Amino acid sequence: MVYVCENPTVLATAADTHGPTCPPLVCLQGQPLAAARTLLRHLHSHGSTLRYHGDFDWGGLRIAGALLRRVPWQPWRYTAADYRTAAAATPLAPPLAGAPATATWDPGLAAALAELGVRIEEETVLDTLLADLGG
């Protein structure tokens, strides 16, 4: 199992929190560049299961979709249910901005974003992601 995140804060905090016991975690730092895509394709072709998490916003969905078109991954707390849980726990979440996007891995996710209209960044759910990495 290899975890993949969008934001370097997740990677840095996971390293600080779990140190050498942290499972493999790759950070894209936003858009997946050629080096990250090559690494993830290599890991996948050698039997790794990739689990992806990104920001719950239109840009985050576009990044995730672009990655999924190149490398197979499974959602890591990146579904409509996860978004609804995070949004309910974040009453002062900023509003969504930009053009809507789709989420082929969970069609209900784009609908939930449109319905609730708030942006949830990875840092907002950091404790949950860290717990997954520590378990």
pLDDT at 31: 84
- The confidence band for 12, taking pLDDT boundaries of 50, 70 and 90, is very high
Percent of the chain with pLDDT over 90: 96
Give the predicted TM-score (pTM) of the model: 0.95
What is the spatial distance between Cα 34 and Cα 56, in angstroms, rounded to a whole number? 23
CA 83 distance to own-chain centroid:
11
The predicted-structure confidence for 64-123, as pLDDT tens digits, reads as follows 999 999 999 999 999 999 999 999 999 999 999 999 999 999 999 999 999 999 999 999
pLDDT at 32: 86
